Amino acid sequence: MDAGTEQGATPEGQAAEQAVDVPLSLDDEIVELKKLLEDDPEDFQAQCRLGEVYFAKGMLDEALENVSKAITMAESIRKQMDHSLAMYYANRGTIQATKGDMDEAMSQFRKALEINSKDVLALFNLGRALFDRDEYMEAMPLLERLVDVTPFGARLRLSRPTESGRLLHLTLPMPRPLRCFDHVEDQYRVWCLVRYVKLLDPNAAKGALVEIGVVPSGSPESAQVTRAPCGSEVTSR
């Protein structure tokens, strides 16, 4: 009885197995891949495979178009991964700096900038570390590469001279998500320390004498900074 049942089931099992193992024709695979891409245009594997199938069929124009799309998608993925990897190196450097190992921290910041030369955290922390070591010539280009306004500092131009180490009271229209306080105010008011000064040609810079890079030191209500003897007012528009 058992043997008969097993013998009777064998042909059906073999037929099912054969049906599963039959590969799709190239035309059928194109149809299925197009369906996948209609549901998810960002399906990278489907995009790559569609280019390969078109090439196998000798449809070179279609193959070129789809492979080009796959390359664009891959470049986007790589860019995202590079930004994430740079961020992780910068984060590791911040942890090392907090532990007091500045040499290793600076090494991590440099690795982050090798991957993403615009990583704000790495630029700021490496520039600050070099500045604190009096390595001004190497620190200045890093600080100059920071975007104009970030939670870590700002870059602006003044029509009057100032000097590195001076404390300035800035009033500027900084985006609220980047602020540490004054979230409901129209203008952001903060004491900042001048970390670098670059002389400009007033004729070429529309009257500006210097470009400066500053880092925030505290709110106007901060008791520590309001007692600073060298503070001055600056308004940025």
- pLDDT, tens only, 183-221: 677 777 878 888 888 888 878 777 778 888 888 776 555
How confident is the model over 55-100, as pLDDT tens digits?
Answer: 999 999 999 999 999 999 988 888 888 888 998 998 999 899 889 9
Residue length of the chain: 237
Question: What token pair was written down for 144?
Answer: 């100059």
DSSP structural state of residue 100? T
Beta strands in 84-187 (DSSP E): 149-150, 153-158, 167-172
What pLDDT is recorded for position 77?
A: 86
Instruction: Read off the pLDDT of residues 2-20 as tens digits, 9 standing for 90 and up.
Output: 554 455 555 555 555 555 5
Let me know: does 190 contact 168? Beta carbons within 8 Å: no
Helix (H, G, I), strand (E, B) or coil at 217: strand
Rounded mean pLDDT of the chain?
78
Q: In what order do the strands lie in the sheet with 188-199?
A: 149-150, 153-158, 210-218, 188-199, 167-172, 232-235
In the chain the domains, ranked by start, together with CATH numbers, are 22-146 (1.25.40.10), 149-235 (no CATH)
